[in-house]
Structure 1
Amino acid sequence: MTSQWMDGFWLKVNILLSLLSLIVCLSNCPCSESSFCNPIVSPPRKEIFVFQLGGTDWKSYDWSVVTTVAMFGKYDPQLMCYAHSKGARVVLKGYLSATQLKNKTITQQWISQQVQLAVDQFMDGINIDIEGPLDKSEAPLLTQLVADTTKAFHQAIPGSQVTTDVAWSPDCIDKRCYDYKGLAESCDFLFLMSYDEQSQIYGDCIAMANSPYNKTVSGVEKFLKLGISTDKLVLGVPWYGYDYPCIHLTEDHVCSIEKVPFRGAPCSDAAGKQIAYGAIRKMLSVNSTTGRLWNSTYAAPYFQYRSTSTGVTHQMWYDDPQSLKYRYNYASNVNLRGVGMWHGDCLDYSGDSTAEQQTKDMWDAIASFL
């Protein structure tokens, strides 16, 4: 018997076992209504993909627009039940290292384990988030993993969704030289992480926008030039920003930052610190020395403040409803499958009246895509 035949045989066995487990698991449904434990089988629609990192902020999401929640925190059966009651999918986080990708036995076992976990937890699929470096000779390993995972999930859980996270551009960003067209063809869609776009800075080592509009559009266009269908692309945007200490600041707001190399580049956004949007809005109101400023090239806001403990001037780059509407409109105009954000818990859901309006405005901005 060939190795290929054996792989196929055991894949079918594992799928059958998963189907049997699904029948058994339904009797252990944690939801108030057993139907909420059924996988979502709704046909494709405009995708609003939300990453969730834990806690209970999900209760305040705008469920009138959410279509998929990637549960990257601890498994929460209440979230699964509620999402299903709203017709939204809930998917697992999937991760393997580059070393593990090279071992066929490990990858097949991993796929079986992920399918079983999804069945046991009444989930609707998996979001594969492998962001490590791969050269072009290793790229087929990831493509094969994604293809095998998609086949296993689709057969074991009807209507399930398998997606893959990729960098904002296919140009070997951060040494991620993946087979992007092959990945798109091997799963339901790619989630473009159109943020952290300063992870490799080769020009002037200065603070810049997290998701500059010009670079974001350029990245999407390069995916399209590979022949990838717009229906296979979901544009991810940041609901957080970067706080950079300035080594030197010019009168026209050019902030020189520390040189922190990353994967071959002499500078990177690692010189800054990620700050959630809710906290940024508080800092803008209380600490800013400039008020909100706007960069028309990046289509992004920023401001400056002085640290009370060190006296150092900081520059904060972030995205808000105005800047995000540019990106959502673009995604709509080129007919992308959807948009999404890292991550849904970055907003202030405390109930404070000012924060409540700011949070509503962020969710409402998504209407620019729909």
Structure 2
Amino acid sequence: MKKLTLLFVFILGICIASKSQETFPAKLNKTPVVLAYVTAGSDIMPDPNYVTHINYAFGHVSETFNSIDIDNEARLRQIAALKSTYPHLKVMLSVGGWTSGRFSEMAASVINRRSFVNDCKRVIDEFGLDGVDLDWEYPTSSVAGISSSSDDTDNFTLLMKEIRGVIGEDRLLTLASACTAQYYDFKAIDQYIDFVNIMTYDMGRPPFHNAPLHRSEFTSDLSIEESVQAHVAAGISLDKLTLGMPFYGHVIKELGDFINYKDIHTLDEKYTRKWDDEGKVPYFTDKDGYFVCSFDNAESLAYKCRYALNRGMLGVMYWEYNGDDAEGTLRKTVYNTVMKK
């Protein structure tokens, strides 16, 4: 915990020091990425008119540490089949997720790692995918209840190098990164990866914001702005970063843990909506003014999309498609803002 606190102070110092002299790069000279995580447990089919990329969640390192197990293979085939009608669409399998382990054992063994890498190629070919996304949360850390080793970061670099060598240059290789920019040697893996999806959410729970764009009185450790700067400082260029956004919010313990955007309206009868103009995010308070829910809406996501574009980032991603309402309020806002429609 002490090391994390020092890291946050260091990151904040970088941001403050650079803010006055920071200049934003020119806008990206290629089609921006609008990436949605789509889960195996949902039965909602994503609308390819509002995404450019889909990460199917999840595959997992097998119990034998040398191959991939896929949740609900039939659903993955259904989603991959969308590519025949929507040729612009890129579909990837995301391997990992919170509490998904066995990465450390796999990556530490030359034999297991080689077998896993070959299985990445098999999955891409068998399901007609465009690549794989690695969501190891996190190398060298057991915070998610998984095994870890001090060698994980170096072994992750070897893993990405070997995956790239086997799947070729024409397939996508990406990863999901913690908002702190810890755990990965970005300078070492940069040559092997296409882009990094920053998980700029879960950065605080009430009475703090889940995903504040800028620092405010309700920011816990990091803001999105500071997270992006931390990744740049760690060695990843802005045009290889997608900005993560949540289609859910966090509530006080009495109300549970999280709430999807499609259910946010259920809080309106009892609580009061407010807007943090510094953090550029909404929240709810009770009758005594106590912070009870942090969430995102169309207005806050539009701010984040414009921020990503103005910074020259590759695009945006969100977790997850099923959190949106039936009208598609959030996904349409994200896509139309990024694509300037």
TM-score range, shorter chain: 0.7 to 0.9
Distance across 1 between alignment mates of 2:184 and 2:281? 29
Pair 1:272–1:99, CA change in 2 (3 A) = farther
Distance in 2, matches of 1:66 and 1:102, equals 36
Q: Does 1:140 align with 2:140?
A: no
Partners of 1:83 and 1:323 lie apart in 2 by 30
1:300 positional shift:
1.2
Structure-2 separation of matches of 1:314 and 1:64: 36
The Cα of 1:346 is off from its aligned counterpart by 0.6
What stretches of structure 1 of length at least 5 have no aligned partner?
A: 1-42, 200-205, 247-270, 307-312, 350-355
Q: Distance in 2 between matches of 1:339 and 1:242?
A: 21
For residues 48 and 219 of structure 1, the distance between their equivalents in structure 2, rounded to whole angstroms, comes to 19
Partner of 1:56: 43
**CA displacement 1:7-34 (0-9 Å, x = unmatched):** xxxxxxxxxxxxxxxxxxxxxxxxxxxx
The corresponding residue for 1:283 is 266
More relative contact order, 1 or 2 (CA 8 Å, 6+ apart): 2
- Where structure 2 has 5 or more consecutive residues not aligned to the other structure, the ranges are 1-28, 58-70, 97-101, 142-149, 215-222
Higher alpha-carbon Rg? 1
Calculate the TM-score normalised by the size of structure 1. 0.67
Q: Is 2:212 aligned against 1:212?
A: yes
Contact 1:320 1:362 in 2 (8 A): no
Q: Displacement of 1:339 after TM fit?
A: 0.4
For 2:60, the equivalent position in structure 1 comes to none
With over 3 angstroms needed to count, the CA separation of the structure-2 counterparts of 1:124 and 1:365, relative to structure 1, is: closer
Residue 336 of structure 1 is matched in structure 2 by 313
The correspondence of residues 71-220 of structure 1 with structure 2, limited to 5 A, is 71-72=56-57, 73-75=71-73, 76=75, 77-86=77-86, 87-95=88-96, 96-134=102-140, 137-154=151-168, 159-170=170-181, 172=182, 177-198=183-204, 207-214=207-214, 215-220=223-228
The TM-score normalised by the length of structure 2 is 0.73
| Aligned-partner residue type, residue 94 of structure 2 | K
> What secondary structure does 2:140 align onto?
coil
In the alignment, is residue 299 of structure 1 matched against residue 280 of structure 2? Answer: yes
Distance (whole Å) between structure 2 residues aligned to residue 272 and residue 210 of structure 1: 15
The one-letter amino acid of 1:56's match is D
Report how far residue 52 of structure 1 moved.
0.3
C-alpha separation in 2, matches of 1:151 and 1:296: 47
| Residues 305 and 153 (structure 1), Cα distance of their counterparts in 2 relative to 1, 3 Å cut | farther
Contact residue 38 and residue 322 of structure 2 kept, 8 A: yes
Cα displacement (A) at 1:362: 4.3
Looking at structure 2, the residues matched to 68 and 279 of structure 1 have their Cα atoms a distance apart, in angstroms, of 25
Matched to 1:105, the amino acid is: I
Give the paired residue count.
271
